Amino acid sequence: MSPSASALLLFALSRALVVMVVLAAVALMPIATPCGERCHLSSVPLLDALSRWDGEWYLGIASEGYGHAKGAQTDLAFFPLYPALMRAVGALAGGSDDAYLAAGVLISNVALALAAVVLARLIVLDHSRSVAIASIGLLLIFPTTVFLSAVYAESLFLLCAVAALYLARTERWPAAGIIGALGALARPFGVLVVVPLTVELALRRRFSAAAMMGIALPLVAFAGWMVVLWRMTGDPLAFFTAQAAYRRQAAAPFAAISDLFDPAVYGDPFFIIGFGGLTAILVVLSWRSLRASLAAYATVFFAAALSSGTLTSLLRYALAIFPIFVTLSVLPSPWFRRIYIVTAATSAVLFTAMFALWYWIG
Reference 160, options 2, 312, 322; nearest CA is 322
Average pLDDT over residues 248-275: 68
Q: How far apart are CA 182 and CA 157, in angstroms?
A: 8
pLDDT of residue 265 exceeding 70: no
pLDDT of residue 153 exceeding 60: yes
**Secondary structure class of 70 (helix, strand, coil):** strand
What is the b/e burial string over 121-156, where b = at least 16 CB atoms within 10 angstroms of the residue's CB? bbbbeebeeebbbbbbbbbbbbbbbbbbbbbbbbbb
What is the b/e burial string over 343-352, where b = at least 16 CB atoms within 10 angstroms of the residue's CB? bbbebbbbbb
With beta carbons less than 8 A apart as the criterion, state whether 161 and 182 touch.
no
Average pLDDT over residues 128-147: 96
pLDDT interval class at 243 (50, 70, 90) = confident
**For the chain, what is the mean pLDDT?**
90
pTM equals 0.94
pLDDT interval class at 342 (50, 70, 90) = very high
Q: How far apart are CA 282 and CA 312, in angstroms?
A: 20
pLDDT of residue 96 exceeding 70: yes
Among the ranges given (58-72, 79-93, 188-202, 240-254), the one the predictor scored with the smallest mean pLDDT:
240-254
Q: How far apart are CA 228 and CA 238, in angstroms?
A: 10
Among the ranges given (50-64, 197-211, 289-303), the one the predictor scored with the smallest mean pLDDT:
197-211
pLDDT interval class at 276 (50, 70, 90) = confident
Which residue did the predictor score with more confidence, 191 or 333?
191
What is the total residue count of the chain? 362
Residue 217, pLDDT score? 96
Neighbours of 266 (CB within 10 A): 17
pLDDT interval class at 301 (50, 70, 90) = very high
Q: Amino acid identity of 237?
A: L
Which residue did the predictor score with more confidence, 30 or 352?
352
Q: What are phi and psi of 359, to 5 degrees?
A: -90, 145
pLDDT of residue 192 exceeding 80: yes
Report the percent of the chain where pLDDT is more than 70.
92
* Alpha helix stretches (DSSP H) within the chain: 3-28, 45-49, 55-64, 81-92, 97-123, 129-140, 154-169, 173-184, 194-204, 209-233, 238-244, 253-259, 270-289, 292-306, 314-317, 323-330, 334-356
Q: How far apart are CA 99 and CA 120, in angstroms?
A: 32
Q: How far apart are CA 362 and CA 352, in angstroms?
A: 11
pLDDT of residue 92 exceeding 60: yes
